[in-house]
Amino acid sequence: MADYTDPQFWPQLKHLAATIDGLDYFQILNVAQTSPGPQIKASYYQLARALHPDKFFHLDDEGLKDAINKIYKRVTESYMTLKDEPKRQKYLRDITGPDRLRKLRFTEESEAEQKEQQKTAAKVAKTPKGEQMYNTAMVDLQNGRFDAAYKALQSATLFEPANADLKRLLAEVDKKRKGG
Amino acid sequence: MAKQLAMGIDLGTSNSCVAIVEDGVPKVIANEWGERTNASVVSFLDDGGVLVGNDAKKHIITNPRNTIASAKRLIGRYSFSEEVKKAQSIASYEIVDGPNNAVRVRVKGRDFAVPEISAMVLKEMRAIVEAHVGHPVTQAVITVPAFFNDNQRQETKNAGRIAGLEVLRIINEPTAAALAYGFGQNINQKVVIYDLGGGTFDVSILQIGEDVFEVLATSGDTYLGGDDFDDRVAAWMMEAFTAEHKIDLRKDRHALAKLKEAAERAKIDLAENDKTRIHIPLLYTDKQGFSHDLDMTLSRAEFNKMVMDLVQRTFKVCDEALQQARMTPAEVDGVILVGGPTRLPIIRNSVRHYFQREPNIDVDPDLVVALGAAIQADALLDASTTTYLLDVTPQTLRLGTVGDFTEAVIERNTSIPIDRTRTFVTARDNQDKVKIRVYQGESRKASECQMLGEFEFGGLRQAARGEVKVEVTFEIDTDGIVNVSARDVETGQKASTALTLSGGLSDEDIAAAQARTAQAEVRQR
């Protein structure tokens, strides 16, 4: 990688800092969406060597140092999300869905959604068929397809008529698809 | 042009150490008596002068009320905290409450903030380096326990400022040790740093990838160290003495100081020998003028028994760190021992047993942290940085919600630097400020966490409730210090930020303390 402490790169770096909010974590870490864990780590280390604030500490240009700080914090943030498998999967769904622009940073909302999902995923469907329908419903939900999710959950309840959790979820999704 | 020089300071609970990089080699600088470690002790003499270091330590027995040791156990803590109460009960000097629940040390009728005491030790370290190189050196990297929270880090940085230093970076002690261990070695290993100091304990698990030092997880106990081992021995001695002579020594500061000193020596002696004789002549003189000596023998086995619970606490911390790193002891390539107390056979043996491998003892446990700090100091000032420390924040950053509840904003063991935002909406028409409380800790209950402070964001635009959205950014910087700022989402305008209830020193306090410290007459023996 190039030596970014060389002033010829500074306009580029300042521009990156100004536009970084428009990039997703895969782009920031310079990895493909399908990259395996070790590759993500290797890329992170490479970027750390190139952009760590310590490397720029001795320079006088405060504007540059602010830009580096902003970029590097986002590199760290990208790594923290992509190195955690459930977070990474959720993130990938978020940025390939209709809400992409809002979900470029995996913050409060996405974390809350993920925790909710984990909670419900642990306990809901008890039979193989029920689980299949449930999983389909989850994917639909994540993509905002409430009607389809409702139908899938309805099928799930047919396989597990006594499952109160599924019924509750069905009612919630019903509310959602009716605009609640 | 000569490159600027910066020093690395290991500001320890019991002992401090300073190092610089000289001709490309990190080196600990000895004081004028050839000693490379300096007691973190400050003694206020009757004639108004001050002694700092190994000589001051001798005054603990002769002048206990005016000799301050182990200030690091108090720094950045609230006066109502359990740890301060514990320290108060065994300290030979007076610990009192300060403004905003801060801690003060009272000496000869004057109250000192804890960072002022630590500043005198830092000043002494600076003097040692300046005597060696022959010119002023004002820049320093200062180390702290990895588990230190924001308040503790902030007050340590303030201590540096009071000492007239430009603190380039606050770095974690285990990370510094790993840096000294791996520097220039081209290692690719997962290492555990087991750092048992005089007053604090840290375990950090790092992946070293040649020039990259990535902390995978860290855990610790900021009130567990060699001092506690000494206290156990001292308590045992006191109990035996009381049983034999029916005398309660607890009110006698001089006796307590003598017991503690003898306990420390016994502990150190037991590192080399199976048995040690403890002899304190004239420990106590009663009103009739009869003097009582203390004469006892302590075996290594008895010592091990009385400190076993302390040792076990360290392995609970190891469990925690390994769990956070999602690793088992078997996946560790090397274990490095840091801190004087790790010389104790019980520690060495327990570490060997827990990790099923021989701990690495090539590094000098007393000096390695200062060496790492010097390497980092040099790297920061040098255009050709060749080491990269990727550290983490040790405790979860939390936001007070309602009642005694908090929610996590930045999880512990998140890599730093990093930031996270939270958006708040005004609840009342023309609300002109938003207040939030910030904590660090692992409990959802605010009362079980450390409060960092209450932030007030003001100057908000006048509008109907719900119309003003305030985006608060929580940043943890490379020092592991929390910075909070806010802006109006709509206009992008920054809100004014005021911090209250924090207990730390204000800029005015620091400036005043700096002036006082500069004037303090520090004796050279």
Q: Chain B within 8 Å of A53 (Cβ-Cβ)?
A: yes
Question: Same domain, yes or no, for A134 and A87?
Answer: no
Cross-chain CB nearest to A54 (options B214, B380, B422): B380
B118 and B23 in a single domain? The answer is: yes
pLDDT at B232 over 70: yes
Same domain, A97 and A137: no
The verdict on residue A67 lying in a domain is yes
By percentage, how much of chain B surpasses pLDDT 90?
77
Q: Domain of A152? A: 124-177
Question: Which CATH number belongs to the domain containing residue B257 in this structure?
Answer: 3.90.640.10
The closest of B163, B199, B162, B196 to B70, measured between CA atoms, is: B199
| A84 and A142 part of one domain | no
Cα B48 from Cα B216, distance rounded (Å): 48
Whether A96 and A140 share a structural domain: no
How is chain A classified by DSSP, letter by letter?
Answer: ---TTSGGGHHHHHHHHHHGGGS-HHHHHT--TT--HHHHHHHHHHHHHHH-HHHHTT---HHHHHHHHHHHHHHHHHHHHHTSHHHHHHHHHHHHSTTGGGGSS--HHHHHHHHHHHHHHHHS--SHHHHHHHHHHHHHHHTT-HHHHHHHHHHHHHH-TT-HHHHHHHHHHHHHHTT-
Kindly report the average pLDDT of chain B as a whole number: 93
- Read off the pLDDT of each residue in B120-126 and give the average, rounded to a whole number: 97
Point out which residues pair with B214 in neighbouring strands: B207, B390
Per-residue model confidence (pLDDT) at position B1: 40
Of the residues A73, A103, A133, which one is the last residue of a structural domain?
A: A103
**Looking at the structure, do residues B374 and B404 belong to the same domain, yes or no?**
no
Please compute the mean of the pLDDT values over residues B79-103 and round it to a whole number.
Answer: 93
Contact A136, A152 (CB under 8 A): yes
Is B116 assigned a catalytic role?
no
**B377 and B421 within one domain:** no
Question: Of B124, B150, B155, B173, which residue is the catalytic one?
Answer: B173
In chain A, residues with a C-beta closer than 8 Å to the C-beta of B209 are 45
Instruction: Tell which of B418, B481, B489 to mutate to test the A interface (max A CBs under 10 Å).
Output: B418
pLDDT in tens, B293-322: 999 999 999 999 999 999 999 999 999 999
**Within-domain flag for A113:** no
Contact B137, B374 (CB under 8 A): no
Average pLDDT in the B348-366 region? 94
Active-site hit among B116, B124, B150, B195: B195
Query: Are residue B277 and residue B167 in the same domain, yes or no?
Result: no
Residue B54 lies in a domain: yes
Closest residue on chain A to B414 (Cα)? A80
Cβ contact, residue pair B417, A108, below 8 Å: no
Query: B150 falls in which pLDDT band (50, 70, 90)?
Result: very high
**How many domains does chain B contain in total?**
3
Residue B254 lies in a domain: yes
Average pLDDT, integer, range B332-361: 95
Residue of A nearest to B383 (CA): A58
Q: Judge if B141 and B109 occupy the same domain.
A: yes
> Are B471 and B500 members of one domain?
yes
Q: For A70-92, how does the pLDDT look when each residue is reduced to its tens digit (9 = 90+)?
A: 999 999 999 999 998 889 999 99
> Residue B412 is part of which domain span?
395-504
> Among residues B305, B320, B339, which one ends one of the domains?
B305
Is A48 within a domain? Answer: yes
Nearest CA in chain A to B214: A45
Does B380 share its domain with B422?
no
Residues B230 and B158 both lie in one domain: no
Residues A39 and A92 in one domain: yes
Residue of chain A nearest B413, judged by CA positions: A80
- CA B375, B380, B382, B385 torsion-angle sign: positive
Round to whole Å and give the CA distance between B504 and B152: 9
pLDDT of B251 reads 82
Residue A3 lies in a domain: no
Catalytic residue list contains B111: no
Q: What is the pLDDT of residue B282?
A: 86
Query: Known catalytic residue: B507?
Result: no
Residue A52 resides in a domain? yes
A115 domain-assigned: no
Query: In this structure, what token pair is assigned to residue B439?
Result: 């904590």
Verify that B458 and B514 share a domain, yes or no.
no
Is A110 inside any structural domain?
no
- At B122, which CATH number? 3.30.420.40
- For residues A88 and A24, state if they share a domain: yes
Task: Residue B215: name the closest of B190, B235, B237, B195 by CA.
Answer: B190
Note the pLDDT tens digit of each residue in B246-285: 888 888 888 988 999 999 999 999 989 999 999 999 888 8
The total of structural domains in chain A comes to: 2
* pLDDT above 90 (res B31): yes
Q: Which of B385, B414, B415 sits opposite A54 (nearest CB)?
A: B385
Say whether both B50 and B178 belong to one domain: yes
Residue B338: inside a domain: no
A128 and A96 share one domain = no
Averaged pLDDT for residues B27-47: 96
Whether residues A93 and A134 share a domain: the answer is no
CATH number of the domain to which B400 belongs: 2.60.34.10
Q: What is the mean pLDDT of residues B68-93?
A: 94
Domain boundary among the residues B305, B320, B349 is at: B305
Higher-confidence position of A134 and B37: B37
| Same domain, yes or no: A129 and A97 | no
A60 part of a folded domain: yes
Kindly report the CATH number assigned to the domain that includes residue A35: 1.10.287.110
Q: What is the pLDDT of residue A141?
A: 81
CB B15 within 8 A of CB B40: yes
Residues A87 and A155 in one domain: no
Same domain, A147 and A74: no
A143 and A83 housed in the same domain: no
Query: What tens digit of pLDDT does each residue of A17-70 get?
Result: 999 999 999 999 999 999 988 999 999 999 999 999 999 999 999 999 999 999
Q: Is residue B340 part of a domain?
A: no
Of residues A58, A79, A108, nearest to B383 (C-beta): A58
What letters, b where the CB count within 10 A reaches 16 and e where it falls short, cover A81-114? Answer: bbeeeebbebbbbbbeeebeeebbbbbeebbebb
The pLDDT assigned to A180 comes to 63
Report which of B241, B91, B495, B379 is spatially closest to residue A55, judged by C-alpha positions.
Answer: B379
Query: C-alpha distances in angstroms, B285 versus B86, B248, B250, B256, B268?
Result: 27, 12, 14, 13, 27
Same domain, residue pair B27 and B131: yes
Clarify whether residues B477 and B514 are in a common domain. no
ipTM above 0.85, yes or no: yes
B209-222: per-residue pLDDT in tens? Answer: 999 999 999 999 99
As a residue count, chain A comes to 180
Query: What residues 212-241 of chain B have any CB closer than 8 A to a CB of chain A?
Result: 212, 214
